[in-house]
Amino acid sequence: MTTTPAPARKKKRSAALGKDARTQAELHLMLLPGTVSMLVFGIVPLFGLLIAFKDFRPIMGFDGIFTAPWNNLAHFRVIFNSPQFWPMMRNTLGINLLGQAVSITATILFALLLNGLRSARVKSFVQTVAYMPHFLSWVVFGGLCINLLSPDGSVINNVLVALGLTKGPILFLADPDYFWGVAIFTGLAKDLGWGAILYLAAIAGIDPLLYEAATIDGASRWQRMRHITIPGIMPTIMIMLIFAIAGMLNNNFTQIYVLQNVLNKPASQVIDTYVYEVGLQQFQFGVGLAISLMKSVFAVLLLVIANYGSSRLTDSGLF
Amino acid sequence: MVQSKSLGERAFRIANMLVMLLVVVVSLYPFYYALINSMNTGVQVMKGFSALWPEDFSMQAWKTVLSDQAVSKAFFITLARTVIVTVASTLLTSMFAYAYSRTYLTGKRFYTVLGFVCMYFSGGVIPYFLLISKLGLYDKFMVYILPSLFGGFYNVIIFNTNFKALPDSLFESAKLDGATEFNMYWKILMPLSKPVLAALCVFTAVGIWNDYTTTLYYTQSPDLQTLQYFILKLVHSYNATEQLANNAMANSAAVASTLNNSRLGTGVVNSKTIELAAMVLASLPMIAIYPFAQKHFVQGVLLGSVKG
């Protein structure tokens, strides 16, 4: 993650080289476009967070961030008193936590099975095909899922009815009870193959001698997986868990927004869609910002906690 | 003993193949489904979507989509922003990463802090919206370009890791021969970094091509619609009327069928077949390019796990 310093001796040798003003000027010139971009589009918007504490009106424009009067946390009171607040938190956490549990487990399992294939050609074919949904946009993939799940004459409902699993077609997208499941499983279908890349790379990094030795000692396929593969990919699993925890409040807006409709809103309104709705559709900038600010603060806290927990438990963390 | 082991082994292989088959079907089917139903007549789609092949073949929806002004405009907007941003951001980001990766860079800490702050903290859409308006980018084509010119610090980290794998001596000897930093970046580093450049180009291109939120948040003019946004509108209007129709179904069949007709239209082409044809059109370019860079993806993704 962070840059590792070059060994001291090496550093000394090249220390004189490149320290001259001309080289430095060239380097900083090369860094300039990116720096300007980060300052303008990354740092300047951070000042906008002040609006969370201010009586800001859209008509004030950007300068209003600084000139608007303070308002004693009025926006935070609006949020906590809103009847939408708790359902929204429930949806955000529910979709994320269940979704991550399902997708991390399934992805690891898929990577292990893929690794268990004997033929390299089959493996690479399955991989290429499984990547495909990742390269479709959520508009297209989500739109197709809506079609496939549609109650009138769609494939999935036809199959369910034909198998006698349900009496009539299920209103997957109109009934709020199904929304979490729809969000979780469409997310899984889209990124299962892609997510496996990481685990496959980790598995490829395990010393093959370990497997050989274990096989000679009579370890079964299951034992080899349990005692060699799983410990070998543990650091990767930990990193994925850290990010799952840190991103707990962060829904995939692009996915949820495509699947959302008026009828499933009780189950599909999450923080990100709420911010868009109150902020950019109703122009209550202060309320929208207050909630994004809370979200960011929690996300950083969660990241630190998850990382701390992971380095205590398994010696592998991010920082 | 030996027998039972090979039996278990065989059972595992068969089960594994079945799982793989399932994954392949689930991955391919949605796209295939869009393809076959876009080649159906609207009348057929009204009766029910085809599951395996077009039951009433017609290319009319495709003809309509390909000759539609709004679609071709959206296509060119999407294509233009994808090409411009991919080229520019790959160049600017790799240049930044080259300079950042030099051990003799002074003031590196400033860039590290700036980069990580930008990566982990964000004001969200609202301050960004105000900034975009302040800069006069709202509802301008440039809103697609300027903010994305730099690929972000996250991509810098990916480049940086890859650049570090190159031997220092290569650059030191060039430097001793009097090469400028820009020359070393352009003539030594770039040709040696093709795999990671390929991977990041594809990631950037896919991200920009598939993005609809920029259009949704920061534009309103129909001239600036992207292909994805165009489809989003079709999906949402269809979804809305469909849910209404389903609700009406319980109460009145007549209302339901009126709603059904209004949402799909009747005829050889209807809004559904057009939507599906547009979806296939919007997906084809990305599906066509990713297999070429696939073997380099691991380099880009290994650190990708680190993205928050």
pLDDT computed for residue B306 by the predictor: 40
State which CATH number among 2.30.31.20, 1.10.340.30, 3.40.50.10800, 1.10.3720.10 fits the domain covering A83-314: 1.10.3720.10
Task: Count Cα neighbours of A255 within 13 Å in the Cβ-side half-sphere.
Answer: 24
* A118 contact residues in B (CB cutoff 8 A): 13
Across the interface, of B238, B247, B287, the residue whose CB is closest to A135 is B287
Rounded distance, CA A277 to CA A293, Å?
16
Give the pLDDT confidence of B262-303 residue by residue, as tens digits.
Answer: 555 556 667 778 888 888 999 999 988 888 878 777 766 655
Q: What angle do CA A76, A77, A82 make, to 5 degrees?
A: 100
Rounded distance, CA B21 to CA B288, Å?
22
Asked if A227 has any chain B CB less than 8 Å from its own CB, the reply is: no
B40 bridge partner residues: B57
Say what percent of chain A tops pLDDT 90: 23
**Mutating which of A103, A147, A158, A240 best tests the B interface, going by the most B Cβ atoms within 10 A?**
A147
Place of tokens 């010696």: A315
> Taking CA atoms, what residue in B is nearest to A127?
B24
DSSP character string of A13-75: HTTSTT-SHHHHHHHHHHHHHHHHHHIIIIIHHHHGGGGGGB---GGGTTTHHHHSPB-TTHH
Rounded distance, CA A242 to CA A239, Å?
5
Q: Is residue B48 part of a domain?
A: no
- The CATH number linked to B160 is 1.10.3720.10
Q: Estimate the crossing angle of helix A85-115 against helix A176-204, to 10 degrees.
A: 40
Across the interface, of B27, B103, B213, the residue whose CB is closest to A14 is B103
Number of structural domains chain B divides into:
1
Q: Is residue B45 part of a domain?
A: no
Measure in Å the smallest separation between the Cα of A11 and chain B Cα atoms: 8
pLDDT computed for residue A38 by the predictor: 94
Q: Which residues of A65-87 are buried (b: 16+ CB within 10 A; e: fewer)?
A: beebeebeeebbebbeeeeeeeb
**Mutating which of B27, B189, B203, B244 best tests the A interface, going by the most A Cβ atoms within 10 A?**
B27
Measure in Å the smallest separation between the Cα of A135 and chain B Cα atoms: 6
The verdict on a CB contact (< 8 Å) between A43 and B117 is yes
Q: Domain residue spans in chain A? A: 83-314
Tokens of A249: 């409040």
Measure in Å the smallest separation between the Cα of A243 and chain B Cα atoms: 6
Give the pLDDT confidence of B10-60 residue by residue, as tens digits.
Answer: 888 888 889 999 999 989 998 998 888 888 777 777 777 777 887 777 777
Q: Under a CB-based contact definition with an 8 Å cutoff, are residues B215 and B225 in contact?
A: yes
Q: Estimate the crossing angle of helix B69-101 against helix B227-251, to 10 degrees.
A: 120
Give the Å distances, CA to CA, from A154 to B9, B26, B273: 38, 15, 14
The DSSP secondary-structure symbol of B109 reads H
Q: List phi, psi (to 5°) of B130.
A: -65, -40
The verdict on a CB contact (< 8 Å) between A263 and B153 is no
Rounded distance, CA A196 to CA A130, Å?
9
Give the pLDDT confidence of A165-214 residue by residue, as tens digits.
Answer: 777 778 888 888 889 999 999 999 999 988 888 888 888 888 889 988 99
pLDDT computed for residue B95 by the predictor: 94
Across the interface, of A1, A30, A143, the residue whose CB is closest to B185 is A30
Q: Under a CB-based contact definition with an 8 Å cutoff, are residues B24 and A130 in contact?
A: yes
Rounded distance, CA A75 to CA A56, Å?
10
pLDDT computed for residue B299 by the predictor: 65
* A129 contact residues in B (CB cutoff 8 A): 23-24, 27-28
Rounded distance, CA A117 to CA A277, Å?
47
Asked if A49 has any chain B CB less than 8 Å from its own CB, the reply is: yes
Give residues 118 to 177 of B whose Cβ lies within 8 Å of A.
Answer: 118, 120-131, 133-134, 147, 149-150, 153, 156-157, 160, 168, 172, 175-176
pLDDT range class, residue A245, cuts 50, 70, 90: confident
> Taking CA atoms, what residue in A is nearest to B143?
A41
Residue B262: which domain range?
Answer: 69-308
Give the Å distances, CA to CA, from A302 to A230, B205, B223: 25, 31, 42
Q: Is residue B5 part of a domain?
A: no
Q: Which residues of B215-237 are buried (b: 16+ CB within 10 A; e: fewer)?
A: bbbbbeeeebbbbbbbbbebbbe
Measure in Å the smallest separation between the Cα of A289 and chain B Cα atoms: 7
Rounded distance, CA A42 to CA A32, Å?
14
**Whole-complex ipTM:** 0.83
* A61 contact residues in B (CB cutoff 8 A): 130, 133-134
Give the pLDDT confidence of B127-147 residue by residue, as tens digits.
Answer: 888 899 889 999 999 999 999
Give the Å distances, CA to CA, from B268 to A150, A298, B67, B274: 21, 53, 16, 11
Q: Is residue B241 part of a domain?
A: yes
* B235 contact residues in A (CB cutoff 8 A): 139, 142-143, 146, 258
